[in-house]
Amino acid sequence: MNVSDMLEGKVAIVTGGTRGIGYGIVKKFLEAGAKVALFGSRQETVDQALEKIQSEVPGGEVMGLHPALGDFDAAEKAIQSVREKFGKVDILVNNAGISARESLYEYKPEDFEKIMSLNVNAVFNCSKAAAAIMKEQGGGSIVNISSMVSIYGQPAGCGYPASKFAVNGLTKSLARELGRDQIRVNAVAPGVTRTDMVAALPEEMVQRISATIPLGRVGEPEEVANAALFLASDLASYVTGTILSVDGATQV
């Protein structure tokens, strides 16, 4: 199967699709033949991403929305409007996420709630709304973007790894619950990936991080997108409940 045919005829939603890994997934899915709805946090960034993707993948069918994903009604309404525009919803990628670095002593309870709202509640909300449509259609695929911190934890900003452990829990549990409806649920757990955050680091620091990774470099958004493409596609028809590490064998 050619990459350009892997998602032919499918409709996908990618949350946090305006930049970084999410943008890489939007681009890859359009190149693979899907119609794609990208969700961002603001109208302005959604418009910028739509303009960029239309120039990079001319002819790709793409739309953009910016629902408050932590609110079930808003998430459901946005997912319904994708179905209205594109006719169905086959694939959901729960990618939108924020990270944290505060020590427990500095960590404000409202910041802990904020990270849970986007990294966990939004995954629940979007999965619940999309699964109802997928069930009616006879199946679908949900891909959650977890992180290597869901395996190792991290030494500060405990809300972030806690949220990604929850993402893995949702992945494994929903795979078991939704299998009978032919809805597959998997996750990709990236290591350090070259998004804006990493690109802003001094090259010397990126090299220091890279030296600790067996493959000797950080990952690229496209490499995470390739894993998401496989899991979203019919090539992964018997794969569900798995957490696929894309981290160059990082051990921390």
Binding interface with ligand NAD (CB under 6 A): 16-22, 40-41, 45, 69, 95-99, 118, 145, 147, 190, 192-193, 195-198
Which amino acid, residue 90? D
Q: How far apart are CA 147 and CA 127, in angstroms?
A: 18
Least distance in angstroms from the C-beta of 203 to ligand NAD: 16
Active-site hit among 23, 105, 160, 238: 160
Least distance in angstroms from the C-beta of 184 to ligand NAD: 19
3-state secondary structure of 108: coil
On the CB side of 217, CA atoms within 13 Å amount to: 5
Q: Determine contact, residues 31/3, Cβ cutoff 8 Å.
A: yes
Q: Verify whether residue 152 is a known catalytic residue.
A: no
Least distance in angstroms from the C-beta of 97 to ligand NAD: 2
Q: Which residues contact 106 (CB under 8 A, 6 or more apart)?
A: none
Least distance in angstroms from the C-beta of 2 to ligand NAD: 27
- The H or E element containing residue 38 is strand 35-39
Nearer to ligand NAD, 8 or 56 (CB): 56
Nearer to ligand NAD, 86 or 160 (CB): 160
Q: Which residues contact 148 (CB under 8 A, 6 or more apart)?
A: 189, 190, 191, 192, 245, 247, 250, 252
Nearer to ligand NAD, 69 or 79 (CB): 69
3-state secondary structure of 243: strand
Nearer to ligand NAD, 121 or 233 (CB): 121
- Positions marked active-site: 160
